[in-house]
Amino acid sequence: MLEIERKFLVKSGAFKTEAFSLSEIKQGYLNSNPERAVRIRIKKNTGYLTIKGKSDESGTTRFEWEKEIEKEEAEALLKLCEPGVISKIRYEVKAGEHVYEVDEFFDENDGLVLAEIELNTSDEKFIRPNWLGEEVTGDVRYYNSQLSKNPFTLWKEN
């Protein structure tokens, strides 16, 4: 139940032509505390309840538990979520033996595009496509739970 992933900014839209799948995602947080975030997500016609634990020092590894739930249940639970529901399109892009999940955000996080890659070990080698930008693994500002509270469009650096 451990998730090992690295996260990157995306510097161009070239990934879209390489994507083999895309899906709209709507998600909110019943609890956005970094110690134990509880997320509700609707992806396509399926709901998900996910619990994520605190990341290790590098930001690459943390506990993750996910359960599929009915879409209607997820819709009801989204109404109970903290303010700041996230809307995004997820593109899946194969690169060597791995798949990048590239999220293009909308609404209050419009303009942000992030890529994540799940690994088997924290030091596993992987291909870095030319559209991949700066690594932001471990930068809590880019956690979806934090983007729901402090949206990208409100950042002073933006």
| Count of C-beta atoms within a 10 Å radius of residue 84 | 19
pLDDT digits (tens, 9 = 90+) for 124-141: 999 999 999 999 999 999
| DSSP state at residue 143 | S
Higher model confidence: residue 11 or residue 156? 11
Largest CA-CA distance found in the chain, in angstroms, rounded: 41
Which pLDDT band holds residue 157 (cuts at 50, 70, 90)?
low
End-to-end CA gap in the chain: 35
pLDDT digits (tens, 9 = 90+) for 12-22: 999 999 999 99
Question: What distance lies between CA 75 and its chain's CA centroid?
Answer: 19
* Residues taking part in catalysis: 29
| % of residues, the chain, pLDDT over 90 | 96
pTM of the model: 0.94
CA distance 153 to 46: 29
Say if CB 43 and CB 71 are below 8 A apart.
no
Q: Which domains does the chain have, with CATH numbers?
A: 2-154 (2.40.320.10)
